[in-house]
Chain A
Amino acid sequence: MRAYILRRLLQSLVVVFAVTTIMFFLFRIVPSDPTVMMVERGMSEEARQALLERWGLTGSLWQQYLRYLANLLAGDFGNSFFYRMPVWDVLLPRIVNTLWIAVPGLLLGALIGAALGMAVGWARRGGAVERGGILIATIIRGTPSFIIGIALLAVFSSWLGWLPGFGMGNAGDATGIARYLRWEFLLHLILPVLAVVIYFIPENLLLMRSGVVENRTEDYIELVRAKGVSDARVAWHAGRNSMLPLITWLFPALAETIAGIVVVEIVFSWPGIGRELVLAVTRQDYPLAQAAFFLLAVMIVLANLAADLTYGKLDPRVVYR
């Protein structure tokens, strides 16, 4: 088990390194000049050189790459071209902001989706619950996430006026955790979280359903029924066995769903890392974009590892070698 985790961590390291390298060169292959943004018109050539040097944009591509790697190993992601401050200082608060909507959103989405999937899978084949459930899930799944967000905004924010729809509210001069423990912040949180939940439910529902449908005809289910336990308990057995494929999919999906969260953040003007990533790319803010992608890569790799480890917890038949 320990050897397995160690080996997987080493593999993960290789993957992250590869992603980092590809990212570095990808940004530099793009035929444009990041200095355009920084260097003001009419600036002397010397001043421009000094600036480039300061930002680490001198020397051959290889030299830049090696310098980048060396800094990365030291934990230095460099400075943002746009904000003119260390990348880490820009990203950290935004990561926290994103976690506020991503964690509850994905968790609730997974739980509700799995529960609904179990109900739909256990319902009579060809009945109204099954047909309706699949139809609704498919429609939501096919809907672009910005439409879900806009619909929520339109109904709850503009029409009913119940909930705020933009940003996180004014934190005043609160710092640290106090920034978040405000009634206003929590109100602002509801709609974006709801958007993530709705976005995330259908896939969980459909996966769980197909698992339950597959399991309900297994021999062991018949024996569980024969034992005279409640129908809900029988369904639980089918659901418990259907969780295995769901978990394999769920963890990597959590990381990949960042794509969906980007849109949610943009629609709700939520200052999270996803929105920042998009802005960084359009601003050609290499250090910031690279750091953000680096973090995403680390997240996806770790999520895969977590999935494999959880799988062993859920299914006693899995052995780690």
Chain B
Amino acid sequence: MAGAIPETEFDRRLGAKPPVHLAVEGLRVVYQSRRGPVAAVDGVSFEVRPGMVLGLVGESGCGKSTVVKALMRLLPDSARVGGRVLLDGRDILAMDARALRRVRWNQIALITQSAMNALDPVIRVGDQIVESIRAHEEVGRATAWARAETLFALVGLPPGRLEDYPHQFSGGMRQRAVIAMALSLNAGLLLADEPTTALDPIMQDQIMARIRRIKEVLHRSMILVTHDVGLVAENCDSVAVMYAGRIVESGPASEVLVRPSHPYTIGLHNAFPRMPAEGERRPPLISIAGALPDLLAPPAGCRFAPRCPFATDRCRAEDPALRPAAPGQAAACHHAAQAGEFRRLGALPETWKAMAEAVR
């Protein structure tokens, strides 16, 4: 795939970097708003094993992008961040500025959400990649540029386009360039924050194929942040579903997506279009009525209870913890034992429609 671009000594050296292990423990991010503190992320824990891909899913505003930014400490100074982010055992949140600077891009790289404005508009794309390399490696410009050429070939862009400015690229090309930049030091962990959100479906597919290929060839640990359950199914080993700043369900992607235990995951599952199986009718698309709760004054019990068709009095009074629900799977639901029944009822539009009327 590298085509006419030969792999350099520098490429080989970076290629030998191992993927990293990430453990997030009790991550909490509190923003100071004018009306009081808001816990955008409230006690989130998960793990990414070396070379594995974790899908972080949830609707807009659930806090998934805040988690990603917290992992790299990119949040504004006004946000208070608690908990631990252990990268191969070292806590990123406890690092001084120097150590943090070395970890960034060297060990964690970011593929950002909006490839439109992710690149500096007045600097050549190649120079922006070179900048990321030379911030960490004592190499000359020529070596770094050769590395950038290898990376462009890897993401399927003509190396000559390194000379161009971001505005000379199409949206899809910019996204590829951002991916190439994220790979510049072959960081052990890639954070892909909605890498395809701004693209049309064909381009989305191409980019995701590219990312899958990178995962196979480079064997990186990765977190894929998305609201698209389909992308998770195609690309992730494990999945964590976020709702209102918390993880409500987690486990192997194959399990969580096929047999969800939490009513929210069941709802998400039914809200996405799927190809029907042979001879089966296309399942109806069902939306979850209502909106995320106000995090200034979160509901007393389960945060999903106001939108949940199966909520009981206990749900509205008592906050459920994330507990094992099935082998390898955890859900934050008091009634996870009834998950089979919920899945059956959740597939019926009437179940959610009644809820929609109640919410209204």
Contact = CB atoms under 8 A, between A and B. Distances in A.
Interface stretch (A16-24, A215-223, A253-261): A215-223
A112 to B, nearest CB: 23
B120 A226 contact: no
A222 B74 contact: yes
Contacts of A31: none
Contacts of A230: 101, 135
A228 B101 contact: yes
Interface in B56-81: 69, 72, 74, 77
Given A226-B104, A226-B109, A317-B165, A240 B123 contact: yes
Contacts of A240: 120, 122-123
Interface residues of B, number: 34
B112 A219 contact: yes
Contacts, number: 79
B103 interface: yes
Contacts of B69: 222
A227 B105 contact: yes
A237 B105 CA distance: 18
Interface string A303-321: 0000000000011110000
Contacts of B254: none
Interface string B240-280: 00000000000000000000000000000000000000000
A230 B165 CA distance: 23
B110 interface: yes
Interface in B89-136: 97, 100-106, 109-110, 112-114, 116-123, 131-132, 135-136
Contact of A228 (B77, B135, B168, B181): B135
B353 interface: no
A316 B118 contact: no
Contact of B112 (A222, A233, A244, A314): A222
A230 B97 CA distance: 10
A233 B135 CA distance: 10
Contact of A241 (B112, B114, B122, B178): B122
A220 B117 contact: yes
Given A219-B116, A219-B117, 12 more contacts: A124-B77, A218-B117, A219-B113, A220-B120, A224-B131, A226-B112, A227-B104, A241-B121, A315-B121, A316-B121, A316-B167, A317-B121
17 contacts: A218-B117, A219-B112, A220-B120, A220-B121, A222-B69, A224-B131, A225-B74, A226-B105, A227-B105, A227-B181, A228-B100, A228-B101, A228-B132, A228-B136, A231-B97, A233-B135, A240-B120
Closest 8 CB pairs of A and B: A228-B104, A219-B117, A316-B165, A227-B132, A229-B135, A228-B105, A226-B110, A228-B101
